[in-house]
Structure formats: structure tokens, C-alpha cells
Amino acid sequence: MNTQKHKHYKPNYTPLILIIAVVVAIVAIIIAANCINYDPDVNILQKDITITKPGEDVQKVQPTPTPAPQPTPEPVSRRGTAEPIPESVRASMQGKSMKTNSNITYDDLRYLTIPHYDFNYNVVTGHLVVADDVAEEVLDIFAELFDAKYPIERMELIDKYNADDFTSIEYNNTSAFNYRVVSTGSGKLSNHAYGRAIDINPQQNPYVYRNGTGAHENAREFWQRDVSKWSREIDRAAYIGNETAVCRIFKKYGWKWGGDWSEKDYQHFEK
């Protein structure tokens, strides 16, 4: 019986190795040809892109540059400034809030520039004219109101309303100096005439007679002081009552509040 010895088969990997080497070489050539650059600031792969259309020149689109860092905005100054009444302001006051009198002059007053939150809670700048000897104190008070984010709809010199108190209130204007008598009919000069009284958000904080009514129809909702019945949130935020930050702050500096009187003048503070 013939016996044959079987030879063991040994596979030949040489062709496979050659194919893999060729593929690796091709991939390396493609990567090198594309010149890929990595920008760690942008954190994306960037390269010049060439856009071509038939009949058009080649146009290179550059990668969007990394935006430059923006500086941090300066914080808003919470405290306003006081200065002697500027000539231009004196001219606007003459014959209006400043009437001919022997009691007070422009030198007795100061022009205040005051930052405050408006009814959209934007920080805006308003102006008051007050007595010189309370000017710095008023700035302190309104700085604290600013910290409390108490909103004030507008704060303009009453001369914009021809120094007419009724019109200024109709526009819910916060104001101070106005050389006039009190509204009770006594003929006595008001503390506004000396720059020692301030009316704040007079629509939400009206003058209310003993019978519970007021003079301004646009403030009718606010004659009654139950703020839970008021329709707008911003009106409730502008409310002044004994329990509010506005009252506490003014009284801390020794100012009296008209809401404590028998005929309520909720807008009014004086010293």
C-alpha cells in the first residue's frame, strides 16, 4: 500500500500586505493634499473652500474669524449728582416753577440728576430741583430706592408741564420744586415752594379726600388702597404704603409722609 505524505499549506499574506500599504499611502496623500488645519480657538476643522461655477472666477471663502472678547459693561452708578441750577435750566424755570418772590432764589436750590428704574424696569435718568440743604440727602434716598428697584414712571421738572401741578400729576410725573401755595385753599406756601417736598408716582399714590374720592379720574382705581384689587403688576410695584420700602427709606431720613394725614396725600413726602 502506497502512502503519501501530505504537505502542510502555508498561506501567502504578501499580496494583502501590499494592498493595505497602498490604501494607507493613498489616504495619507489625500490628507496631505487637503492641508487640513485645526484651530483650537474656533474648535472646528478649517480650510479654505474654493467655490466654482461654470464661467466664473474662482472665489475663496475664508473661515469666520473668532470674535474678539467684549469688555464687561461698567456698572450703573446708583447715586445721582447735585449741582447749582444751570443757566439753561434757570431759563426754563423762570416765570413757571420759579415765580418772582422774596423767599427763595436759584442759589438756594440744586439741580439733581438721578438714575431710576422706569415702568419697564429700564434704568433711565430723571431730574429734580430741591433745596440745597437736602440735596445730598435726597440723592441718598433715591440711591436706596434704586437698590430696592422701586419703579418711577417719569421724573421731569414740572416746568415741562408749564408748572401746572394738575397736568404733571395727569402724566404721573414725579417732581419736587414748584413755587406755589398748598392745594387746601389756605393760601399758605407749600413745601414744594422751598424745594423741600417730593411727589412720587402721583397716579398710583393720589391725593384722596375724606370722602374717599380724588381729583384725577385716571387715578380712580388707586383711590382705594387694596393693591390686591389693582389690575397691573407695575401699579402694585409703584404703590406707597407704610409697609413699603419707599416709606421706610424716607422716614429713616426724617421725612414726613402725606399718607399719615387725615386727608391722604399718598404721593407726598416733605421735610
Bridge partners of 114, per DSSP, are: 126
Diameter of the chain by CA atoms? 150
Per-residue pLDDT band for 4 (boundaries 50, 70, 90) equals very low
Could you give the C-alpha distances from 61 to 50, 65, 178, 271, in angstroms and in order? 7, 12, 66, 70
Closest CA to 204 of 237, 175, 250, 167: 237
Q: What confidence tens digit (pLDDT) does each residue in 90-130 have?
A: 999 999 999 999 999 999 999 999 999 999 999 999 999 99
The residue with greater pLDDT, 257 or 38, is 257
Cα–Cα distance for residue pair 55/19, rounded to 1 Å? 41
0.85 surpassed by pTM: no
Cα–Cα distance for residue pair 73/141, rounded to 1 Å? 25
Q: What confidence tens digit (pLDDT) does each residue in 199-243 have?
A: 999 999 999 999 999 999 999 999 999 999 999 999 999 999 999
Lowest-confidence range among 36-45, 201-210, 252-261? 36-45
Per-residue pLDDT band for 185 (boundaries 50, 70, 90) equals confident
Indicate the average pLDDT of the chain: 85
Closest CA to 192 of 158, 146, 242: 158
* 58: number of Cβ within 10 Å: 8
